[in-house]
Amino acid sequence: MFITQKAFRALIKQAYTGAGLTVGRRGDRLLFCGSYWGIEVMREVLPNKSLAAVIELTGELPEDGGLFKATKEGGIQYEIPETYWDITAAAEKAKDYYKVSNVMVQSGDKVYRVLQAESEQRETQLINNLFIDAVEPKEMNFGYESYIEGPLAAGTNTHAVYWKNEACVMDAFLMRKEDMKEYELVEFLKGIDLEE
């Protein structure tokens, strides 16, 4: 799995103590979702330490075909799985590449990275820098994985970007830049090729 253990643990813990950690299983694939991210991964490439971290929080994994949401305060609630299993399908539609710039914007206690579309419009988006730091090729299981594609989006007017390979897909919601006081700065950056 191309996601660092540190980032994976931070994401699942934050979800579990917040709005809830969704965990699902379908055949050889596992699904983990928070309120603004999702990871679908083949069981074979998920490190045992990462799986143990999930079980440490939730106490269990769902049976094949099952899905639940677990919270620290509310325990486990089983849900209808069809509403969650679209990460891979959505990632397949994502064909528009974004460049990860070196430009960061701090808003409150969060740090966001500016992404810029590789299209002529050079649309700019903001993403929590945690997701940029989470993607690490050295973490891949090279018996199953050989590349990482992303960040990708389905158009430039999008709400999420995706990273994917043969065994894992991660989606992360973008920050609504219109809601930020730094909006004008981020829009101004469209006029600059941030790779230069």
* pLDDT, tens digit, 9 for 90 and up, residues 114-154: 999 887 777 888 999 999 999 999 999 999 999 999 999 98
> What is the separation of C-alpha 53 from the centre of its chain, rounded to a whole number of angstroms?
18
Length of the chain: 196
- The percent of residues in the chain predicted with pLDDT above 90, rounded, is 69
Give the C-alpha distances (Å, rounded to integers) separating 114 from 20, 28, 44, 57, 166: 27, 35, 33, 32, 27
Residue range 59-74: average pLDDT? 93
Tokens coding 94: 């994502």
pTM over 0.95: no
- Where exactly are the structural domains of the chain? 5-89, 92-191
* Cβ neighbourhood burial of 90 (10 Å; 0-12, 13-18, 19+): middle
Q: Which residue has the tokens 């486990």?
A: 76
* Cβ neighbourhood burial of 81 (10 Å; 0-12, 13-18, 19+): middle
Dihedrals φ, ψ of 115, to 5°?
-105, 145
* pLDDT, tens digit, 9 for 90 and up, residues 29-54: 999 999 999 999 999 999 999 999 99
> What is the separation of C-alpha 150 from the centre of its chain, rounded to a whole number of angstroms?
11
